[in-house]
Amino acid sequence: MAANDVYKKQAAEAAVELIQSDMVLGLGHGSTVQFALETLANKLQSGNLKHIVAIPCSKHTEAEMRRLGIPLGDLNAHASIDLTIDGADEVDPQYNLIKGGGGALLREKIVAQSSQRNVIIVDEGKLSSTLGTKHTLPLEVIAFGWERQRDFVAKLGGKSTLRVDAGGNPVLTDQGNYLLDCEMGPIADPAALAQALEARSGILEHGLFLGLANDVIVAGASGLRHLKAKPK
């Protein structure tokens, strides 16, 4: 197993230790979350955790939950989620995040905003002094007039690229929308950028997750760190 995968597994296992029986969970999307799914399934099978129901952030996660025997929940049936475990593409010192590298940002944000506690699991390479330094900013946009959203990003000082598959076809989200990956450079004011993007018709969601992370579990060569945001 590659070193980064070892770190991801360590962070995921530490996050699963925070789960208690009878919880409603949110389960994110991506390679780090996969380790959490497998760890959670083992705890359910052994009886160490009971009466769990979990809401997936993507069709892929839902399929993995079914395969692993993790009970599937419906967000419409639960007014609040006790704890969500998810990854991130970049984390700044204030625990703001860039997410959406895997394309599930819209569902991930819906679940995050419905959660009492968001636990983010990352390897140490995802830590950054300023968002936008290490990762592009994903946007989920409708197909109609998507190039106008590219123009809008350019006016904000960024350069966006339509995400395509190996055949050159647009990658579609679970909602059937397009994804733009935007090179914004270091983002000096994430809140202002988020506000501008949210005001633009055609942009359904952006990958800036601001003030949503309660815990960030970081794994690396020096071991595990459990970082906690100050209570709001």
DSSP β-bridge partners for residue 137: 182
Given a cut of 80, is residue 118 above it in pLDDT? Answer: yes
Q: Return the half-sphere exposure (C-beta side, CA atoms, 13 A cut-off) of residue 100.
A: 30
How confident is the prediction for the chain on average, in pLDDT? 96
Which residues are catalytic, by number? Answer: 108
CATH code that applies to domain 3-127+210-221: 3.40.50.1360
9, pLDDT greater than 70: yes
> Domain limits of the chain?
3-127+210-221, 137-204
Residue 4 pLDDT:
81
What pLDDT is stored for residue 1 in this prediction? 74
Please indicate whether residue 85 or residue 2 has the higher confidence score (pLDDT). Answer: 85
Residue 162: Cβ within 10 Å count: 16
CATH topology of domain 137-204: Alpha-Beta Plaits (3.30.70)
Question: Which DSSP string do the residues of 138-194 spell out, in sequence order?
Answer: EEEE-STTHHHHHHHHHHTT-EEEE-B-TTSPBP--TTS-EEEEEE--S-S-HHHHH
- The reply to whether 137-204 shares the fold of 3-127+210-221 is no
Residues 163, 186: Cα–Cα separation, whole Å: 21
